[in-house]
Amino acid sequence: MAQSTIVIITIAAYFVLLFAISYFASRGSDNSTFFTGNRRTPWPVVAFAMIGAAISGVTFISVPGMVAAKGYAYLQMVLGFIVGYFCIAFVLVPMFYKRNLISIYGYLEERFGSSTYRAGAWLFFISKMLGAAVRFFVVCAVLQLLVFEPLHIPFVFNVIVTIALIWLYTVQGGVKTLIWTDTLKSFCLIMSVILCIYFVARNLGFTFGEMTSAVADHPTARMFFFDNPKEGTYFWKQFIAGVFMAIATNGLDQDMMQRNLACRDTGQSQKNMIVSGITQFFVIALFLILGTLLVIYIDNKGIAMPEKSDELFGLVATHADMPVIVGVLFVLGLISAAYSAAGSALTSLTTSFTVDILGAHKKGDAKAVTRTRKAVHVAMSACMGLVIIAFYYLSDQDAISAVYTLASYTYGPILGLFVYGMFWSKPVHDRWVPAVCVAAPAVSWLTQKLLMDCFGYETGFELLLMNALYTIIGLRLLSTGRKKTEAAA
């Protein structure tokens, strides 16, 4: 059976199951279902769904490939994620539940004013649109190689079809649908990576004990890097950046918090955050172990290391010596990660644009809000498709790094806004806050360049903290000198 046919059958079977879950989950849905899932979802379901929600198609492809150059350095950052999840659970979650927010950026309006509120919403919009496009671009590129290119179908058609499928299963149920489809995604991801590890190890002739020893002794299995503070893989740079990256991209991200706020109350949401944060470490570790086995495989078979590390997993999974099931598992894990991540991004973008930027929930009745929401959902789908196509010829680093670099520039100001709002009581000149949010990334880019040119210092993911710090400094300069305590809690 041709490779493209296998991929098409796998995608079709996955979507039959996905649409079945979406249909049952979205029955009787309304705007509250779309935006908050009616806040009735049991926390264990959300926690299991969050395993998949935190892992995109980029993670599935990029993390195994990055071991060749960076070893297991990524786990240093994931350790920081766990600390960040605890901070989200005990600082941000109670604050959001107390205010009964539909969009978490409503806090910025309470604390600062309408200009800051819209600045935060636009920063999220740019962050999520670019981040989701990069993530889904990687998947579309793989599908183009495996399916559409052999059939002589252009990349644009590939993007249109995949975006249309995502729109179909998220248009009605929103967050409630996402949580239940994410449980399917989590199951498919975990099982696919475990089974890929098994089949690659078996192809290499390893028993479980031999595989464990081979992975542990391999140079790519190095996890901790304490030797050179100038390098991007240095432990404390990765760990501290991981703490704040988790807070910014999970706790201050409408996409991720929309799921967490679907729990019944603060306590259940906190349990969900802690369990999903700890579980994520072990799931990422599985991807890195698989990466080491892939490197061992290509060394044993005399295969050249691909020019882009993101191509390693697909190269081995579709190799002639591998059983067909490995290719099927690769495609299943890839599409389950990619489509779910893109679906959740569309839902959160629709929510934020409808609520934060258009303010539709304040202007009309439920039917008017529904009409606006559905129109925005179509517009967000079209916009994402255009951005993915624009990315088609761009990418000179592993995609996971590209995603976090983008996040550092766009989530940094959001982090700065929330930190200032929670820890300083003085108000600011609201109308000038958007200018600070634009200036902070520009100054951070200049600082990053000067550090490299003058001192040879490689700025890693701590770029996020730099952006947040410059935002806080700007807000302090804009403070009016009068205290405002009622919104600071």
Q: What is the DSSP letter of 428?
A: B
Domain assignment present for residue 141? The answer is: yes
Domain assignment present for residue 422? The answer is: no
User: Which of these ranges, 26-30, 204-208, 476-480, has the smallest mean pLDDT?
Assistant: 26-30
Backbone dihedral angles phi then psi of residue 263, each to the nearest 5 degrees? -70, 165
Q: What is the pLDDT of residue 58?
A: 65
Residue 147 CA neighbour count, 13 Å, CB half: 23
What would the two tokens of residue 399 be?
A: 């995609």
Residue appearing with tokens 């067909």? 324
pTM for the whole structure: 0.75
Are 67 and 218 in contact by the 8 Å Cβ rule? The answer is no
Q: Is the pLDDT of residue 169 over 90?
A: no
Q: What is the pLDDT of residue 29?
A: 56
Domain assignment present for residue 481? The answer is: no
Task: Convert the pLDDT of each residue in 170-195 to its tens digit.
Answer: 665 555 666 777 777 778 888 888 99
Distance CA 154, CA 145 (A): 11
Task: Convert the pLDDT of each residue in 428-468 to its tens digit.
Answer: 899 999 999 999 999 999 998 898 888 888 776 678 889 99
Residue 284 CA neighbour count, 13 Å, CB half: 29
Q: What is the pLDDT of residue 239?
A: 92
Distance CA 481, CA 199 (A): 65
Domain assignment present for residue 489? The answer is: no
Distance CA 81, CA 50 (A): 14
Q: What is the pLDDT of residue 3?
A: 63
Show Cβ contacts of residue 135 under 8 Å, excluding neighbours closer than 6 positions: 56, 57, 58, 338, 341, 342, 399, 403
- Mean per-residue pLDDT over the chain, rounded: 81
pLDDT: which is higher, 36 or 447: 447
Task: Provide, rounded to the nearest whole percent, the portion of the chain with pLDDT above 90.
Answer: 20
Distance CA 372, CA 355 (A): 10
Q: Is the pLDDT of residue 243 over 50?
A: yes
Q: What is the pLDDT of residue 341?
A: 67
Are 67 and 295 in contact by the 8 Å Cβ rule? The answer is yes
Q: Work out the average pLDDT over 309-332.
A: 82
Q: Name which of 129, 128, 127, 163 is nearest 338 in CA terms.
A: 163
Distance CA 81, CA 73 (A): 13
Distance CA 408, CA 401 (A): 10
Domain assignment present for residue 349? The answer is: yes
Q: What is the pLDDT of residue 402?
A: 65
Distance CA 411, CA 372 (A): 27
Q: What is the pLDDT of residue 106?
A: 83
pLDDT bracket for residue 427 (50, 70, 90): confident
Q: What is the pLDDT of residue 79?
A: 94
Task: Convert the pLDDT of each residue in 134-161 to its tens digit.
Answer: 777 777 777 787 778 878 888 888 888 8
What would the two tokens of residue 22 be?
A: 């979406």
Task: Convert the pLDDT of each residue in 340-388 to its tens digit.
Answer: 667 777 777 887 788 778 877 666 667 777 788 888 888 888 888 888 8
Q: Name which of 370, 347, 487 is nearest 424 in CA terms.
A: 487
Determine the structural domain holding residue 154 and report its residue range: 3-411
Distance CA 94, CA 101 (A): 11
Domain assignment present for residue 127? The answer is: yes
Q: What is the DSSP letter of 2?
A: -
3-state secondary structure of 263: strand
Distance CA 76, CA 240 (A): 9
pLDDT bracket for residue 489 (50, 70, 90): very low
Q: What is the DSSP letter of 153?
A: -
Q: What is the pLDDT of residue 65?
A: 85
With residue 400 as reference, give the H or E element that holds it: helix 399-423
Give the count of domains, the chain: 1
Task: Convert the pLDDT of each residue in 1-24 to its tens digit.
Answer: 566 677 778 778 877 877 777 667
Distance CA 210, CA 212 (A): 5
Are 421 and 487 in contact by the 8 Å Cβ rule? The answer is yes
CATH code of 39's domain: 1.20.1730.10
Q: What is the pLDDT of residue 420?
A: 93
Q: How distant, in Å, are the alpha carbons of 6, 139, 266, 309 from that of 61?
A: 19, 8, 34, 9
Q: Is the pLDDT of residue 487 over 50?
A: no
Q: What is the pLDDT of residue 148?
A: 81
Are 94 and 257 in contact by the 8 Å Cβ rule? The answer is no
Q: Name which of 230, 251, 267, 253 is nearest 121 in CA terms.
A: 253
Are 226 and 232 in contact by the 8 Å Cβ rule? The answer is no
Distance CA 224, CA 71 (A): 9
